[in-house]
Amino acid sequence: MGLKRWLLAAMVATGLAVGGPWPAAQAHGGALPARPVVIAVEPAAVGITAAAVFLGNWHIELTSTSRETVAVLDPAGRPFLRFSPAGVEADYGAGAWHDAIVAAQQSTAVDSAPDWRPVSRTRTWSWLDTRIRPERGLLTPQILQSNRPVLLRNFEIPLRVGAQRGFIFGHLEYEGRTGVYRHTILTDSRPIAGLEVGLVLGRTVPTLTLDNETGETVTILGRDGEPFARIGGQFVDANLASPTWVEFGQSLGVVPTVVSDASARPQWKRILEDHRWSWPDYRSRPPDTEPPAILAKGGVVRRWAVPLEVGSRRMEIDGLTEFVPFAPVTAARKPSSSPSRRRWRPSSAAWASSSSS
């Protein structure tokens, strides 16, 4: 199946609008029940940071400013991601790299010969790590019925920092359902003649819709100001080099084919023959962690803006996201226990395998 057909099928399957009318400009969404929380990165103070971010599914996002090459290792100790001053590379021959794109409980990817390719010119990348996915049976009926925060299990993701061992330590916790997100577009739904703006309901992340009948090309700009996508009279094109597009593609399980580089010349690919398109705007997503006061009382958690170019004119879609607690309002509780902070280490066999890669 070609990219255009695959993306169309994926958008239909996930409820993204590809035509027809859409709901009013408010949306509601909940959170996934098992939230990963990163608690430490070792070795410390070497320019490595990690966090859990929500991009349709929970990802681990790592940024490295270290002069050393930082490798992320699979459970057997094989590197599948490398961060260096030149950017990020992925081993397309590693099964873990393909697992990091597709959100499947059971892995079907197999290892083959190493095939390292650049995937980003920046030194930040996020991936779906199998070690933060809740396994079957982890969320028991008792936990779900209690609706109370519970520590589920710890996780560790081994790294190699130059010649040193490293780890991302964290835990999974069940949050309990305390409320929903509500998104509101503040911009007029018809900001200019022929352009209609809306939202898809029921999403955690603002999922925007554009209907372009202006007679001009509408270009959606990415978070770094690069062209992300463009909508014409009867076409939708994606810039495969846009970091915002790569992030969106990851949420649909699309393996990158072009290096993510906001400064590169756009590489346009036709994905749809229509004048309407919807997309989840992950740069506008709610905070990946919310303060207890917001969870208890509710309120605005983010104000956001999505820049557009309509022909030669520049404009923005402005909006905000609120957290709306369920009634009765109760104070947010902390998980029932704290994760162990012991210094876990991979087995000597796994480390021997990774150090020889």
Which pLDDT score, from 0 to 100, does residue 201 have? 83
Task: Say how far apart CA 78 and CA 111 lie, in whole Å.
Answer: 10
What average pLDDT does the chain have? 83
Per-residue pLDDT reduced to its tens digit, 256-305? 999 999 999 999 999 999 999 999 999 899 888 866 667 778 889 999 99
What percent of the chain is predicted at pLDDT more than 90?
Answer: 61
Whether 330 shows a pLDDT value over 70: the answer reads: no
Phi-psi category of 10—alpha, beta or left, where left has phi over 0 and alpha has psi -120 to 50? alpha
Mean pLDDT computed over 172-183: 88
Report whether 132 contacts 58 (CB < 8 A): yes
pLDDT tens readout for residues 20-31: 222 222 222 344
Alpha-carbon separation of residue 43 from 86, 165, 168, 203, 283 (angstroms) = 21, 8, 9, 37, 29
pLDDT for the residue 337: 52
Give the pLDDT band of residue 107 (cuts 50, 70, 90).
Answer: low
Beta bridge partners of 118: 89
Q: Could you give the C-alpha distances from 211 to 183, 188, 214, 225, in angstroms and in order?
A: 19, 14, 9, 21
- Give the pLDDT confidence score for residue 89 in this predicted structure: 98
pLDDT-derived band at 32, boundaries 50, 70, 90? low
| Cβ neighbour number for residue 143 with a 10 Å cutoff | 17
Count H helices, E strands: the chain? 6, 21
Angle at the Cα of 103 from the Cα atoms of 71 and 15, rounded to 5 degrees:
135
The pLDDT tens digits of the residues spanning 188-240 come to: 999 999 999 999 987 889 999 999 999 999 999 999 999 999 999 999 999 99
**Is residue 356 very low, low, confident or very high in pLDDT (cuts 50, 70, 90)?**
very low
The answer to whether the predicted template modeling score (pTM) of the entire model surpasses 0.75 is yes
How many alpha carbons lie under 13 Å from residue 260 in its C-beta half-sphere?
24
Kindly provide the residue ranges of all beta strands, DSSP E only, lying in 162-293, ordered along the sequence: 164-174, 179-185, 195-199, 207-212, 218-221, 227-231, 236-239, 268-272, 276-280
Q: For residue 308, what pLDDT band results from cuts at 50, 70 and 90?
A: very high
In the chain, where are the structural domains located?
3-30+179-325, 34-176
More confident residue, 74 or 107: 74
Query: Two tokens at 349?
Result: 């066999």
| pLDDT value of residue 293 | 67
- What are the Cα distances from residue 257, in Å, to 53, 71, 227, 297? 23, 21, 17, 44
Task: Flag whether pLDDT at 353 surpasses 50.
Answer: no
Report pLDDT digits (tens) over 78-91.
999 999 999 999 99
323: nearest Cα among 222, 220, 211, 183: 183
